[in-house]
A and B are shown apart, each in its own frame.
Chain A
C-alpha cells in the first residue's frame, strides 16, 4: 500500500482496519507534543502500528525520533538521556537497548555547538584563503591554521545540523503511517544537551511542508513505489549528480525509494525527491505498470490527489498554505486533505 493510502482518511483498500481521520491523528499528535513541551518533559513517546517508533524529548524539545521504516536510528538517538527502569522496558519498540549507564560524548567533535559556531565567524571574518590575500573589507587575513580550524568547525557544525534529518524523516513516516501513539515514558537527562533540538512548532511546520511535497509527488512516485532504471535513454548523453548516479546504479532491478534510502543511509523523503527528479529526467521509470495503476486507483478513491502537474515545487509547498511564520501548518494541511469527505 502506498504512503498516501495509509495517510488517507478513507478505508484501506486491502481490507485492513480503516484508518482514523488524518485530521484527528495529526491534532492528537500535535496536542500530545505541545503538552509535553509545555511541561518541559524529558523522555520517550512511543508509537506502534504500521510503523513502530518513538519521539525523544528533552526539556520539552524534540531531540530525536526513530521509525522502523526509515534509516538513521543511530544518528538521531539521544545519547545523553536514560530512562527510569520502573517505567520503561529495557528495549525500545525497535529493540534497541536503553542502557542507563551508556553516556557517550554528546558531540563527536568534542565541543558544544555554540563553541563551534562562535569560532567560525572569528576565523572566517577575514574572508580570505591565504595570509597574503587581504580580505575585501580590509580586515587582517586569517592564517592557514585559523582557516583550517574554521573549516573543521563549519563542517562539524553542518554535519550536526544534518543529523536532525533522520529524526524529521522518522516523524514524517509515523504521521503517514498513523501509528498509534503510546503512553509517554519519563526519562532523565544528563550531560550536555543534544546538539540539535526542535520546538514542536518547527517540527509541525516542517512536517506540513513535507506532506505537501509528498502530495505533489504521490501521483508519480511514493516511497514504496517500485522503480527501475529506464532500459534506454531518449537522448545521446546525460549528466547526473553523484547522488543520482548512486541511485541509478542501485536501481537496475525494481526497487523502492525506501530501499534505496536504506542502502545509502539517507532519508526516505530526500531519496524520494531525488527519485522523482530521475523519473522526470526519464532515467528511472515506475517498474510495474499494474502496481502503478493500483496505486493510482487507490489515490483517486481517497480523493487526495489532483492531476499531476509534472513539476515538483518547493515554492508551492510553502505558498499554498502559510501560517504566521510563512510556513504551512500541519493541521490546516490535513484538514484540507481529509476534510473534503
Chain B
C-alpha cells in the first residue's frame, strides 16, 4: 500500500454523501495505489482484494461471452452499504480499479455513480 501523501488523489470521491472508503487498485497485481477512508471499521486490504477478484471474474465472463462489450462498473448492494467498482483503462495495457464503499442510509446511488463517472473521466488520457 502506498503512502498517505498520495491519498489526496481520491478527495473528489470522499465528498460523496455517505462516503466510507475508496481505493485505487492495480488490476493486474491487486496492489492498492491510493486510498481514502472515513472510518477504520472496514479493512481496505480485504475490500480491495475482493474488488480485484470481482473485476477479474467479470472480465473473464466478458471474455467468454465475447459480445464486444466491456465491463464498466459494478454495483453491489449490502444491507448497510453500497460497493461501487469501476474499471479504468489508463493505457492499452494498464487498467486500474476504483472501489468506493458508501453508507447505504446516507448515499444517493445515482448521484454517487454520476460523481464517480466524472471522476474517472479525469483519468482519460
Interface positions, chain B 67-125, Cβ under 8 Å from A, are 67-68, 89-90, 92-96, 111, 114-115, 118-119, 121-125
Report yes or no: B49 in contact with A315, Cβ–Cβ below 8 A. yes
User: Which residue of the partner chain, among B1, B15, B49, B119, contacts A206 with CB atoms under 8 Å?
Assistant: B1
Known: A120-B8, A158-B9, A238-B63. A314 touches B30 (CB 8 A): yes
Nearest CB of chain A from residue B41's CB, rounded to whole Å: 11
Report yes or no: B60 in contact with A280, Cβ–Cβ below 8 A. yes
Interface positions, chain A 181-206, Cβ under 8 Å from B, are 196-199, 202, 205-206
**Which residues of A lie under 8 Å from residue B11 when comparing CB positions?**
120-121, 124-125
User: Which residue of the partner chain, among B15, B67, B93, B122, contacts A151 with CB atoms under 8 Å?
Assistant: B122
Report yes or no: B3 in contact with A125, Cβ–Cβ below 8 A. no
Nearest CB of chain B from residue A113's CB, rounded to whole Å: 7
Report yes or no: A313 in contact with B43, Cβ–Cβ below 8 A. no
**Which residues of A lie under 8 Å from residue B111 when comparing CB positions?**
136-137
Quick check: is A108 within 8 A (CB to CB) of the other chain? no
Known: A127-B12, A317-B30. A196 touches B6 (CB 8 A): yes
Report yes or no: B2 in contact with A154, Cβ–Cβ below 8 A. no
Interface positions, chain A 207-238, Cβ under 8 Å from B, are 209-210, 213, 235, 237-238
Report yes or no: B119 in contact with A127, Cβ–Cβ below 8 A. yes
CB closest chain-A residue, reference B17: A137
Interface positions, chain A 140-154, Cβ under 8 Å from B, are 147, 150-151, 154
Looking at A8-16, A47-55, A264-272, A293-301, the stretch in contact with chain B turns out to be A264-272
Task: Report the tally of A-B residue pairs with Cβ distances under 8 A.
Answer: 173
CB closest chain-B residue, reference A243: B93
CB closest chain-A residue, reference B89: A242
CB closest chain-B residue, reference A239: B66
Quick check: is A171 within 8 A (CB to CB) of the other chain? no
Report yes or no: B50 in contact with A124, Cβ–Cβ below 8 A. no
A298 to B8, CA, bound (A): 47
**Which residues of A lie under 8 Å from residue B124 when comparing CB positions?**
151
**Which residues of B lie under 8 Å from residue A318 when comparing CB positions?**
43, 45-46, 49
Report yes or no: A128 in contact with B56, Cβ–Cβ below 8 A. no
Looking at A72-80, A88-96, A162-170, the stretch in contact with chain B turns out to be A162-170
Quick check: is A161 within 8 A (CB to CB) of the other chain? yes
Determine the interface band of chain A, counting residues with CB < 8 A from chain B.
Answer: 35 or more
Report yes or no: A125 in contact with B15, Cβ–Cβ below 8 A. yes
User: Which residue of the partner chain, among A121, A241, A280, contacts B95 with CB atoms under 8 Å?
Assistant: A241
**Which residues of A lie under 8 Å from residue B50 when comparing CB positions?**
314-315
Nearest CB of chain B from residue A259's CB, rounded to whole Å: 16
Known: A124-B122, A198-B2, A199-B3. A162 touches B12 (CB 8 A): no
**Which residues of B lie under 8 Å from residue A235 when comparing CB positions?**
64, 66
**Which residues of A lie under 8 Å from residue B115 when comparing CB positions?**
127, 135-137
User: Which residue of the partner chain, among A161, A210, A242, A326, contacts B33 with CB atoms under 8 Å?
Assistant: A161
Known: A270-B26, A313-B53. A129 touches B8 (CB 8 A): no
Report yes or no: A239 in contact with B67, Cβ–Cβ below 8 A. yes
Report yes or no: B3 in contact with A273, Cβ–Cβ below 8 A. no
Nearest CB of chain B from residue A158's CB, rounded to whole Å: 7
**Which residues of B lie under 8 Å from residue A37 when comparing CB positions?**
none
Quick check: is A336 within 8 A (CB to CB) of the other chain? no
Report yes or no: B31 in contact with A168, Cβ–Cβ below 8 A. yes
Report yes or no: A162 in contact with B26, Cβ–Cβ below 8 A. yes
**Which residues of B lie under 8 Å from residue A277 when comparing CB positions?**
56, 59-60
**Which residues of A lie under 8 Å from residue B118 when comparing CB positions?**
124, 127-129, 135
Quick check: is A289 within 8 A (CB to CB) of the other chain? no
Report yes or no: A161 in contact with B2, Cβ–Cβ below 8 A. yes
Quick check: is A19 within 8 A (CB to CB) of the other chain? no
**Which residues of A lie under 8 Å from residue B60 when comparing CB positions?**
277, 280-281
B residues at A contact (CB < 8 Å): 1-3, 5-6, 8-9, 11-12, 15, 24, 26, 28-31, 33-34, 43-46, 48-50, 52-53, 56, 59-60, 62-68, 89-90, 92-96, 111, 114-115, 118-119, 121-125
List 12 A-B pairs, Cβ < 8 Å: A137-B111, A158-B33, A162-B33, A202-B3, A235-B66, A243-B92, A243-B93, A271-B28, A277-B59, A313-B49, A314-B30, A315-B52
